Structure 1
Amino acid sequence: MRGKKSEWLTHEYFRTYRIANAVDIITRDPFAYLRELEALTVDNGIYEFLPNWQKDSALHKFIRFIADDILMGDTDGPTRVPFGTDPLNPQWILPADAAMMNYGIIREPLFFIPDTPAPAPGNVDDPSELDDPHHVANACYDYLVDLQGTQAYEDLMSRIADEVFFVMFSNRRALANLHKFLAVYVREVDPQYIGEDENELGRLLERDGELKRVRPPGWARKAVFYRDRGRCTSCGVNLSGLIDTFDVANYDHMMPLSRGGLNDVTNLQLLCERCNNRKADRITIPSNRYRRWY
């Protein structure tokens, strides 16, 4: 659960765009990555996405999953980071430690990569391209597994998710692709098989695989209204002059609830009444037209 946060976000941009790019690529064709994404939805993992209007949105959750996978991949590869005042003989640390220092979560590395990596053929002049011996890779893996259970790592995932969310929230097509993927699993949710300790989840459903419609809260409507610049994302008509700027009739679920969509801020787009009625509960590709900043 994410606690109350300031309305301001300080960006450090530590691998933000690399993670955002990975999220975008995977959401374009998620079923090509089912093996990597399996842990996200197995054992009722989809249940975490069902509660209505979570500020820890579906995109936040997906970003953390992808970022965690990327950091785990760093335990066996050429992505180590130099540390120390001697550029010729640095100590080497994992990107996870470098990121936590970058965000001010820790002051010093918690782990130094042991031993001298064995050089890969043809790359002996570039320490950053060296392959790890098995015992080094194992030590890095064990460290990261232990780190994942700490508050420091949770804080790191929160910072990464907030930054990548900020970069990606405007990408309506990536958001729609994410919700199209999640809807496959939402459609499989049957209240009959929800455990007694999760009765609240069962009450969220209108019927098997379909969530009840719940009015978007003010913070969600405000975020989507300003993201879409107060204009219908389909036809471009200016909606900012309406008597009720935040009329819920103008907020469309990109992935309709009847098709497994979520009541989630990242599943909303701004539409005028005419375009919203025309779309109804069909699945359509969101507009990729955006108004220039200047």
Structure 2
Amino acid sequence: MTHEYFRTYRIANIVDAIMRNPFAYLHHLEGLTVNNGIYEFLPPWQKESALHKFIRFIADEVLMNDTDGPTRVPFGPDYLRPKWILPVDAAMLKYGIINEPLFFIPEEFDRTEAPDGEDEPPHTNDPHHVVNACYNYLLDLRWTQVYEDLMSRITDEVFYVMFLNRRALANLNEFLARYVGEVSRDFFDTDEAPLADLFAVDGELKRVRPPMWARRAVFYRDRGRCTACGADLSGLIDTLSVGNYDHMMPLARGGLNDVTNLQLLCENCNLKKSDRVVAPSNRYRRWY
């Protein structure tokens, strides 16, 4: 994948800040969890992981907030009198999704009389007409393929940056576990029986072995070493060491079968941890 890093670190910082104290942002996170929103996180080993879903939700909120003001980005060769576009169009241009802006922020006229030769004034004396125009544009844009393509690009880049941060991943999974732990199999309708079958008991998902792609991702992220004690698990130095793919948030506590909920532990550290909630190590190997 190629990276353009359009607001990547800004969105990553927002995601990390929210995950450090999610209950301070519950009102903003309702779209993820209310009205059975938690059900989307339940199927095991989705490549669009829990972190992908969360990033997409936050990125959409950031772009929507840009319409309140609105946030303006200059466009065009005239530096003195540029046209103004929204960051969402600037992002689509940056990623090569579009070749020209789809929307220009209208000027803030302050008149109610029609110009000469026109039947209607450009707008009424509404102080909110610019914000409303930007907001309506983004509402319509969210239903298009170009917006979906933009969300995928932004989400992939932020995921790439954040997947290394086990503490942030653990915080995310701890937040979601509170909702998974409240799910009863009696909640599901008849047509939702496959979701009910995912649970061993109420509030606890069945254990499903991680697929190869998830194990490889976690193994290389953690450099083939136990994240707790640092033991080599590659088999190159010590052929007797056994690697375990541990759920940072245990299934018994509402954890997900999700790549963002895994860490690499040696057999001894995994047995010591058991089904307890233990903060993952924040030690990482230097690049050089």
- Partner of residue 141, structure 2: 147
- Letter in structure 1 aligned against 2:229: C
What is the distance in 1 between the residues matched to 2:250 and 2:192? 24
Superposition misfits of 4+ residues, deviation over 3 angstroms = 242-245
- How many residues in Structure 1 have an aligned counterpart in Structure 2? 271
- Letter in structure 2 aligned against 1:280: S
Deviation at 1:133, TM superposition (A): 4.2
2:275 pairs with 1:281? yes
2:19 pairs with 1:15? no
| TM-score, structure 1 as length reference | 0.89
1:34 pairs with one of 26, 39, 48 = 26
Deviation at 1:169, TM superposition (A): 0.1
| TM-score, structure 2 as length reference | 0.91
1:80 pairs with one of 72, 76, 79 = 72
- Partner of residue 46, structure 2: 54
Q: Cα RMSD (Å) of the superposition?
A: 1.6
Deviation at 1:215, TM superposition (A): 0.3
- Partner of residue 118, structure 2: none
What is the distance in 2 between the residues matched to 1:22 and 1:178? 13
Deviation at 1:243, TM superposition (A): 5.2
Consecutive unaligned residues of structure 2, counting only runs of 5 or more, are 111-125
User: Aligned in 2, Cα 1:26/1:231: closer, same or farther, shift over 3 Å?
Assistant: same
- Partner of residue 82, structure 2: 90
- Partner of residue 161, structure 2: 167
- Letter in structure 2 aligned against 1:136: V
2:201 pairs with 1:202? no
Give percent identity, aligned residues only.
Answer: 73
- Letter in structure 2 aligned against 1:91: K
SS of 1:250's partner is strand
- Letter in structure 2 aligned against 1:279: K
SS of 2:279's partner is coil
Q: How does 1:221-232 map to 2 (within 5 A)?
A: 221-232=215-226
SS of 1:10's partner is coil
Contact 1:117 1:136 in 2 (8 A): no
What is the distance in 1 between the residues matched to 2:183 and 2:151? 28
User: Aligned in 2, Cα 1:91/1:239: closer, same or farther, shift over 3 Å?
Assistant: same
Consecutive unaligned residues of structure 1, counting only runs of 5 or more, are 1-8, 119-131
Higher CA-based Rg: 2
- Partner of residue 115, structure 1: 107
Contact 1:117 1:133 in 2 (8 A): no
Contact 1:224 1:270 in 2 (8 A): yes
